[in-house]
């Protein structure tokens, strides 16, 4: 077995950032509407938050990541993979978990239009926010079968880190001014940007014609 470890600060196209819909409305309108902002900074937020008006929400935000996984090559047989983050901080007033889905950002700088380039299939096991480690520690998502199949062997592999309610488009019970937030270290930071570790075999078997 070999292990390929790449980060969002790796050369040749790795990057990260976050994008959001910040138009006040129903939870579903925030999830399904167009993004209103996108940027890259040292700390990246996956979140949703409520306004003071009953059943009106103010924002849903998603962390976008791109990893150059082309070193695997097409012959690689992927056995397992993990995605690791440094936790900067978290708040959970809605009993949430985080997970990753597929994403397809349009360029190497995260922009508002990246917001709707996501799928709604979970690519890892849910991570309950209440089980997150202390701030400054690392936490890891283990990719499931769909996540392993999604990894590109010849190009870039791109994910969105999202709240479970966002993935499911399922509105939590509204509470005024409350939020669910997970903040992770981004690639502009000196230490611990998002890191994807892939365990794989390279299929080098040769068929022999015996006569």
The residues facing 197 across adjacent strands are 5, 82
Q: Are 26 and 89 in contact (CB under 8 A)?
A: no
Dist. CA 110–CA 120, nearest whole Å: 19
Give the burial class of 56: count Cβ atoms within 10 A of its Cβ; 0-12 exposed, 13-18 middle, 19 or more buried: middle
Dist. CA 100–CA 147, nearest whole Å: 9
Helix (H, G, I), strand (E, B) or coil at 58: strand
Mean pLDDT to the nearest integer, 28-46: 94
Q: What is the pLDDT of residues 45-100, one digit of tens each?
A: 999 999 999 999 999 999 999 999 999 999 999 999 999 999 999 999 999 999 99
- As a three-state string, the secondary structure of 131-147 is HCCCCCCEEEEEECHHH
Q: What is the pTM of this model?
A: 0.92
% of the chain at pLDDT higher than 90:
82
- Residue 210 clears pLDDT 60, i.e. is over it: no
pLDDT of residue 206: 40
CA-closest candidate to residue 71, choices 208, 200, 207, 182: 200
- Residue 209 clears pLDDT 50, i.e. is over it: no
């Amino acid at each position: 077995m070999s292990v390929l470890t790449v980060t969002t600060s790796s050369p040749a196209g790795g990057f990260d950032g976050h994008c959001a819909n910040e138009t006040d409305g129903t939870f579903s309108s925030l999830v399904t509407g167009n993004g209103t902002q996108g940027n890259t900074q040292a700390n990246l937020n996956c979140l949703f938050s409520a306004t003071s008006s009953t059943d009106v929400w103010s924002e849903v935000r998603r962390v976008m990541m791109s990893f150059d996984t082309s070193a695997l090559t097409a012959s690689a047989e992927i056995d397992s993979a993990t995605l690791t983050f440094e936790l900067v901080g978290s708040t959970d007033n809605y009993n949430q978990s985080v997970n990753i889905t597929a994403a397809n950002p349009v360029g190497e700088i995260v922009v508002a239009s990246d917001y709707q380039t996501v799928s709604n299939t979970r690519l890892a096991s849910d991570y309950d926010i209440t089980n997150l480690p202390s701030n400054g520690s690392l936490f890891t998502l283990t990719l499931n079968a769909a996540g392993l199949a999604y990894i590109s062997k010849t190009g870039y592999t791109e994910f969105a880190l999202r709240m479970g309610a966002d993935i499911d488009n399922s509105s939590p019970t509204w509470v005024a001014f409350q939020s669910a937030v997970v903040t992770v270290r981004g690639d502009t930071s000196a230490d611990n940007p998002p890191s994807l570790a892939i365990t794989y075999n390279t299929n080098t078997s040769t068929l022999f014609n015996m006569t």
